[in-house]
Amino acid sequence: MNTGLEERKYWVDTLIKIISPVLTCGAARELRQRMPKYNAALWDRALKDKYAYLEAVGRTLCGASPWLETPQLDPEEEAKRRIYAEMARKTIDAITDPASPDKAEFYVSVADNGGNPYSQALVDAAFLAHAIVRAKTELFDKLEPRVKRNLITCLKETRGIRPAHNNWMLFSGMVEAALYLLGETPDLLRVDACLFQHEQWYKGDGVYGDGAAFHWDYYNSYVIQPMFVDICRVFADEFPEGGYGQKRLNTALARAARYAVQQERLIAPDGSFPVIGRSITYRTGAFQLLAQSVLQGFVPDSINKGGIRTALTKVIHRCFDSAANFDTDGWLKIGLCGDQPSLGELYICTGSLYLCTAGFLPLGLPADNDFWTCPPAPHTSVRVWAGEDLPADHSI
């Protein structure tokens, strides 16, 4: 039987395997030169090249950031963490330095975006901003002053992008949250607008609409709940009237906790999960919210932590154990559990795939945390399908 520390080593090894190509090339300022262009039809439209590299970096760091931020007890793991944290800082320098061949586009005009006012640059700047919120010490405080200035300038550039009237509103809010933590004056109108609008889109039982409509997919985990919770955390004291900011956070956490219960129950005994909705090629990113509930400690008491660890470990195995997931240089290929390019929508390219790192957030907990030290346990679907008599599930 695997112990939590054995499972942790597998998580760390898998995360490093995933992020290595992005951060190795990024630190060397060779990302544009070496990142493969999977989904050729998309690249041929000449739009993806404007933001695919920011996409790869922002999404890689969004999930890896808690691990990068947390000094490790094990000397071997700590040595690896230090190496990748330094590579991450060099990569941030590379994508924000105007003189770098890897300088990323943080603002794309409507004219240069094919007439579309909703520029993808905002999306992936927000994932980078989320990484900084999760790992301010390693990903900002340790940057040289020059790089800090460049990063802040780049994030501010996204204010010129109009967010679509759906989950994109949270991207604007997340950028403002990062800027606020970095000592800049936030645009509180953007913050309040994204939070207020999502409160109006709440559908009940822990689920938000992606816009006014309900979509049966994993966007409550890819984007909506993790960003909503963390924006509320950052700005809990910025809306003091009647304790509104704290009340908003408490409500958000209650809804997120319910959604975490649902996520744990979606994982089948073998670690597979329903292939529902768009962006399924984000793989383990589908369980970002469950992973965040572990990292931030709002896991409901009704879920055993050993069961969550077992369930998420199975998901990682199902998504990444096949060598077909990676090309010969270690880059992810489009798919869910292998090379499955037809699963990728028109907007999916190589950089898109790295949101999978968001399923690894519990690595931000040190190895002596009870999530890693508690005994392994069967998760809910295993228990029920083995015939165990469990309490019925109920909505909130």
State in words which class domain 4-385 has.
Answer: mainly alpha
SS3 content of the chain, % helix, strand, coil (to 5): 65, 0, 35
pLDDT in tens, the chain (396 residues): 468 889 999 999 999 999 999 999 999 999 999 999 898 766 655 566 778 999 999 999 999 999 999 999 899 999 999 999 999 999 999 999 999 999 999 998 887 777 788 889 999 999 999 999 999 999 999 999 999 999 999 999 999 999 999 999 999 999 999 999 999 999 999 999 999 999 999 999 999 999 998 999 999 999 999 999 999 999 998 777 667 789 999 999 999 999 999 999 999 999 999 999 999 999 999 999 999 999 999 998 889 999 999 999 999 999 999 999 999 999 999 999 999 999 999 889 999 999 999 999 999 999 999 999 999 999 999 999 999 999 999 999
Return the HEC string of 81-123: HHHHHHHHHHHHHHHHCCCCCCCCCCCCCCHHHCCCCCCHHHH
Domain residue spans of the chain: 4-385
Amino acid at 137: T
Distances (CA, A) of 20 to 58, 83, 231, 357: 14, 11, 29, 12
